A and B are shown apart, each in its own frame.
Chain A
Amino acid sequence: MSGNEAIAMAAYEAGVTVASGYPGTPSTEIMENLSKYEGVYTEWAPNEKVGLEVAIGASFAGARAFATMKHVGVNVAADPLFTVSYTGVRGGLVVLTADDPEMHSSQNEQDNRNYAYAAKLPMLEPSEPAEAKELLKDAFELSEKFDTPVLFRITTRVAHVKGVLSKGDMRKSSAVCGIEKAPAKIVMLPGNARNRRKIVEERMAQLTEVAESDTFNKVEPGDTKRGFITGGVAYLYVKEAFPEATVLKLGMSWPLPEKKIKAFAASVDELFVVEELDPFLEHHIKAMGVECHGKDLIPNQGELNTSIVRTAIDPDSAPVLFAPAELPMRPPNMCAGCPHRGVFYNLSKMKDIFVSGDIGCYTLGFLPPLSAMDSCVCMGASVTIAHGMAKALGDEGKGRLVSVIGDSTFVHTGINGLINSVYNDSRTVLVILDNRITAMTGQQNNPASGCNIKGEAANAIDLEALCRAVGVKHVETVNPHDIAECKKALQTALALDEMAVVISRAPCVLLPEIKNAPHNPYSTKTENCAGCMACVKLGCPAISWTNITSQEAVAKGYKEKQKGFAVINEVQCNGCGQCAALCKFEAINRKGE
């Protein structure tokens, strides 16, 4: 069972009845799995702030509630997070943050333990799937006992690690829900909030006592020459690198048990703090006046592993390794037949434009051969960054600023940006790449796709109507597989002197109904290929180029100068037809035509 599956099961067993999240690697599978349990209401929220607020509402009504997101999602949800720390909870409330050291699929590497400190919230942090399961149940108990939301931090190597795990007890009876008015506690006007502020501090003091007990923070005795303080997945690397050593394993990363840490430090000759990313524990331990090694030895960037930890502490133990071979890179690429490719192909042909991008599959439009994306910061920022540039550039930006955003990302935080653009008279073009799904994270439904988390029919947002409603006058919908139509729509929109929206609509090829439908692939009549490479420049993984010598060219009946020819792999081709439209020599046709 993976860590994410274990967490979903634990949430169910803990009696969670309402859960909301936004898909984001490595957190996505938690909600996906939880949605399969009966008696738990689950939903995909348009963004993490909304998701957390839904969970807060459920908690206020007495339900055990759960909000899941990836690390950067907590930035979006930070506003309600800091205040729910003051209001406390009624039903247990746990907020899960899935951090991504090494940035396997993220735009930054932030360490969300800092949120626990800043928002004055307790944080629990498991090392592996089995522990995650137990600890999540404890998190709900802790939440209700101390009237506090609990932050639950996992990292990629907890979320996506599969380990052996036993099924726990049956589900506890779920919370009793009802309306209970407690304005002094949950109406955070300054007068009330000031009173709650004191309670937050008292609560932290009580939680520190919990941290001092053996419940979450345990000493594993061993050789006292070296003592290690560690937590999360770093604990596993320490155990493997130094099996003999004594270890203080922190299952609670905040608040910290000062007495316990000091006693532990006094019991060992040399103290090492081993943690991934920031020197979070180290700084707080040093602030207690305890001397220790930490980031002076252990890297503060990227994932750790056993050998990094071992050689950081014992440099002589570095093994001699075989040298890596020099090979062509194999970056990810948009799928064969991806609808986004049609838009990016067109954008790549437009001179002197700046394409402000966003987070999703279409971020891959930045890669060669299309190289049609010039910036990408965070979800929803495409629209606002283009607008900001337009204001800075004035006339120079006219007809040159395009932003691209997916359907899901548009609903996440793009709408707000569009409203701002309209309101402040932007002269930019927004392209909504509507492929009917949240594709990058693995096909999750969203408010525009017409299905809920379980795949059942749901109300769908009408994107055209929405854009018009916020004040966009020019909204045009195109089929991105039709390269010429798409080009015309982009040119028309860029020529306007007002905010314009082009909706590019065609389904993601990984949607089951597309994937399992019979394909009508294209094939190449290689004898017709003139070697112009027009189709190759599309970057479709189904098209490949074969180099030939001039002798081979002549032998094959080509012109002597022809450098090669293109071939379509019919197994990979999804029949989108984009390449056929680019071939002027009728070398690409539907099979059998």
Chain B
Amino acid sequence: MAATGNILFSGVGGQGILLASEVTAYALLAAGYDAKKSEVHGMAQRGGSVTAQLRYGDKVYSPLIEPGKADILISFEMMEAARYLPYLHQESKVIVNTQQIKPPSVAMGQVPYPANVLDAVSSLGIQVVSVDAFDIARDAGEVKAANIVMVGAMSAFLPMGVEVYENIINTRIPERFREVNMKAFAAGRKITA
């Protein structure tokens, strides 16, 4: 494990990216790391591209990930994974929700949704894990838990055990959503573990 790890979360406003990055950050803190998370508010919340950046290590200074230094890119929407290629390096892990959300120009039929968008990533020789988080979350009982499915899928690449996450879901998530989120997490974890 490198002294510092960088996780870039990407997706579309409203997909639960902030909660997903929050759960991951708490897990890292519980495992004894220093962690820093940065996000952008305002305009970005109206269905635009959204990112959250999470850095961890013994001591983290900058809240921002340098280009070429993201160890994990976790994208909650397919095309948004390809938007951040300059942040990746050869050993990066890319975890992608295969759900497609059409940006305005696509929804209006002006341009097509880019075909084979993930090939752009894998052709660079970077490991890509595709996750059908929407379907998996629906099976777990709530489509909105797709973000936690993604957290589960990513957890196998991070140094903490499952109990740490379960603990966080138990303490940080409102009771009525706990069971669904536990299931969603476990189902996501199964994909990569």
Contact = CB atoms under 8 A, between A and B. Distances in A.
Interface string B135-160: 00000000000000000000000000
Contacts of B44: 104-105, 332
B174 interface: no
A328 B43 contact: no
A323 interface: yes
Contacts of B34: 164
B114 A332 contact: no
Interface in A192-211: none
A333 B48 contact: yes
A322 B123 CA distance: 11
Nearest to A564: B109
A320 B86 CA distance: 9
Nearest to A241: B62
Interface stretch (A417-425, A494-502, A539-547): A539-547
Contact of B62 (A236, A321, A324, A441): A236
A296 B85 CA distance: 30
Contacts of B12: 330
A319 B90 CA distance: 13
A240 to B, nearest CB: 4
Given A324-B86, A541-B47, A329 B103 contact: yes
Given A332-B45, A334-B46, A325 B120 contact: yes
Interface string A531-553: 00100110101011111000000
Interface in B85-138: 85-86, 88, 102-109, 111-114, 117, 120, 124
A303 B65 CA distance: 13
Given A237-B62, A240-B61, A164 B35 contact: yes
Q: How large is the interface on A (under 10, 10 to 19, 20 to 34, 35 or more residues)?
A: 35 or more
A364 B43 CA distance: 9
Contact of A327 (B13, B48, B83): B83
B66 A307 contact: yes
Interface string A202-246: 000000000000000000000000000000010011011000000
A104 B120 contact: no
A583 interface: no
A157 B38 contact: yes
Nearest to B40: A104
Contact of B40 (A156, A239, A369): A156
A442 B41 contact: yes
A328 B105 contact: yes
Given A25-B41, A164-B34, A536 B103 contact: no
A368 B47 contact: no
A564 B112 CA distance: 13
Contacts of A322: 68, 85-86, 88, 124
Nearest to A28: B41
The 6 nearest A-B residue pairs measured at CB = A105-B42, A332-B48, A545-B109, A332-B46, A25-B42, A544-B107
A541 B104 contact: yes
B23 interface: no
Contacts of A156: 40
B64 A157 contact: yes
B43 A104 contact: yes
Nearest to A546: B109
A26 B62 contact: no
B29 interface: yes
B168 interface: no
A128 interface: yes
A306 interface: yes
Contacts of B117: 325, 327
A369 B47 CA distance: 15
Contacts of B37: 161-163
Given A163-B37, A329-B103, 14 more contacts: A104-B40, A105-B43, A128-B63, A319-B68, A320-B68, A321-B68, A321-B85, A322-B68, A325-B83, A328-B103, A328-B111, A330-B47, A330-B49, A547-B112
Interface of A: 25-26, 28, 104-105, 128, 156-157, 160-164, 233, 236-237, 239-240, 303, 305-307, 319-325, 327-335, 361, 364, 367-369, 440-442, 533, 536-537, 539, 541, 543-547, 563-564
B178 interface: no
B85 A164 contact: no
Contacts of B62: 236-237, 239-240, 305-306
A97 B41 CA distance: 17
A165 to B, nearest CB: 11
Contact of B109 (A105, A237, A368, A536): A536
Nearest to A163: B36
B179 interface: no
Contacts of B112: 547
Nearest to A544: B107
A333 B67 contact: no
B108 A536 contact: yes
Contacts of A330: 12, 47-49, 79-80, 103-104
Contacts of B164: none
B66 A331 contact: no
Contacts of B103: 328-331
Contacts of A28: 41
Q: Which of B12, B43, B46, B107 has the most CB of A within 10 A?
A: B107
Q: Which of A160, A305, A332, A442 has the most CB of B within 10 A?
A: A332
B191 interface: no
B41 A26 contact: yes
Contact of A160 (B22, B40, B48, B104): B40
B39 interface: yes
B193 to A, nearest CB: 27
Contacts of A440: 42-43
Nearest to A235: B61
